[in-house]
Amino acid sequence: MQSGSEEGKLRLRLYGRGYCHLCDEMIAALAPLSEEYDFSMEIIDVDADAALEQRFGLLVPVLMHADTELCHYHLDAPKVRAFLDKIR
């Protein structure tokens, strides 16, 4: 099983905030990629954890696979596609 996967399914994490319009935009932009690559996405509210809030600050949204940062602020679809092609 790959790191960052659950029951064999690839899982990405999006660190963001509930009131963040960039987070909402990245979630919407990820929907077609999720269908194409069949990954699940865990959305983590950095404001719910002081350590995450300090770690990410104003950098959100941040899209990650395990410890690898794929992009932040806006979806870099070509970079994410290249990464997903490489690990699947």
What gap in Å lies between CA 53 and CA 33, rounded to an integer?
A: 27
What gap in Å lies between CA 82 and CA 67, rounded to an integer?
A: 17
Confidence check: pLDDT of 3 > 60: no
C-beta of residue 43 within 8 angstroms of C-beta of residue 20: no
Token pair 């069949």 is at which residue? 38
Residue 8's pLDDT band (cuts 50, 70, 90): low
pLDDT digits (tens, 9 = 90+) for 19-61: 999 999 999 999 999 999 999 999 999 999 999 999 999 999 9
